[in-house]
């Protein structure tokens, strides 16, 4: 694993002189944030040695290095999902790569279904904690001691200091920021109404098919994390209407500008 990460790192360092300390993962339909990046250098995943490839619709599959809010950043435009058939360890390869490249802060975004009945479509929820409902964990197997300990703490996986910055930034730009717990499932099917009722009882506010593996791995290797869910739909059964992936991507595209502005503001203040 370490050898593969070193190979990817070596390639990237020949392509850009930027050494960003902030990494951003863009979720479904949130691609457009990448358009706001200045002096952008695009590196397709397929050209990076050892980089696992994404197939999800709405996901471009490239790293974008550049500047946002006056800071150097690197953005993952497109992420890997368990439902694509990727192994958990491949899904988190980019997280460890970012860490090796010098990233200290990871901002994760995703599209999610609103479980909390107070949430509306288009709302932005800051993730204050998560429930890993996937039934597995990317850290299973031999521990990579060079990244972190065998049993790593998750109490502050979502960094309180960054949440304070995000609340202030949302106030500044006049965005109502919801807060809550993200429950990560494997997908690819959407949930049943009974599952959503169960997840609500467990304490979840939003549900999605990504993020938890990435945040577990980021916490393991000592990255500070800030997470946002864009609520693209009310979760299954809340309204009597079937869910569709196209609708999720469409709402993501429409509402991503607001989240993009918020992230730009936050990056300037980290």
Q: Does 195 bind ligand HPA (CB under 6 A)?
A: no
Name the maximum alpha-carbon separation found in the chain: 53
Q: Residue 34: which of 266, 270, 253 has the closest Cα? A: 253
209 contributes a contact to ligand HPA by CB under 6 A: yes
Tell me which of 235, 262, 263, 266 binds ligand HPA, using CB under 6 A: 235
Phi, psi of 233, deg, nearest 5: -165, 160
Please list the alpha-helical segments (H only) found in the chain.
2-15, 88-91, 93-101, 160-173, 193-202, 212-220, 245-269
CB of 111 to ligand HPA, least distance (A): 4
In angstroms, rounded to a whole number, what is the distance separating the alpha carbons of residues 170 and 263? 9
Using the rule CB under 6 A, give the single segment among 16-24, 54-62, 168-176, 230-238 that binds ligand HPA: 230-238
Tell me the closest approach of the beta carbon of residue 218 to ligand HPA, in angstroms.
20
The stretch near ligand HPA (CB under 6 A) out of 34-42, 93-101, 155-163, 207-215 is 207-215
Q: Least CB distance from residue 80 to ligand HPA, whole Å?
A: 15
**249 touching ligand HPA, by CB under 6 A:** no
Reported as type and span, the H/E element at residue 107 is strand 105-114
Contacts of 85 (CB under 8 A, 6+ apart): none
- Number of residues binding to ligand HPA, judged by CB under 6 A: 13
Q: What is the DSSP string of 40-102?
A: EEEEEGGGSTTPPPP--TT---EEEEEEETTEEEEEEES---GGGT--HHHHTHHHHHHHHHT
Q: Please, which residue, 101 or 207, has the CB nearer to ligand HPA?
A: 207
Nearest-approach distance from CB 238 to ligand HPA, in angstroms? 9
* Least distance between ligand HPA and beta carbon 193 (Å): 11
Q: Which of 143, 161, 160 is nearest to 152 (CA)?
A: 143
Kindly state whether residue 112 participates in binding ligand HPA, applying the rule CB under 6 A.
yes
Q: Which of 208, 256, 266, 267 binds ligand HPA (CB under 6 A)?
A: 208
Interface ranges with ligand HPA (CB under 6 A): 111-113, 190-191, 207-209, 232-233, 235, 243, 248
């Amino acid at each position: 694993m370490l050898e593969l990460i070193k190979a990817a790192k070596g390639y990237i360092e020949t392509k850009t002189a930027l050494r960003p300390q902030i990494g951003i993962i863009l979720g479904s339909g949130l691609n457009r944030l990448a358009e706001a990046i200045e002096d952008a250098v695009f590196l397709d995943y397929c050209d990076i040695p050892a980089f696992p490839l994404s197939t999800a619709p709405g996901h471009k599959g490239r790293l974008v290095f550049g500047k946002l809010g006056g800071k150097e950043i690197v953005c993952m435009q497109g992420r890997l999902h368990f439902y694509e058939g990727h192994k958990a360890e491949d899904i988190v390869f980019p997280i460890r790569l970012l860490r090796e490249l010098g990233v200290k802060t990871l901002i994760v975004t995703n599209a999610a279904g609103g479980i909390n009945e107070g949430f509306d479509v288009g709302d932005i929820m800051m993730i204050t904690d998560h429930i890993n409902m996937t039934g597995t964990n990317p850290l299973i197997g031999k521990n990579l001691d060079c990244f972190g300990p065998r049993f790593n703490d998750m109490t502050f996986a979502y960094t309180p200091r960054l949440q304070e910055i995000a609340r202030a930034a949302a106030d500044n730009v006049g965005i109502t920021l919801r807060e809550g717990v993200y429950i990560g499932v494997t997908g690819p099917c959407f949930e049943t109404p009974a599952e959503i009722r169960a997840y609500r009882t467990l304490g979840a506010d939003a549900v999605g098919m990504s993020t938890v593996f990435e945040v577990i791995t980021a916490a393991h290797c000592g990255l500070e994390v800030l997470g946002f869910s864009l609520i693209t739909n009310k979760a299954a059964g809340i309204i009597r209407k079937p869910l569709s992936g196209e609708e999720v991507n469409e709402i993501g595209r429409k509402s991503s500008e607001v989240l993009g502005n918020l992230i730009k503001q936050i990056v300037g203040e980290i």
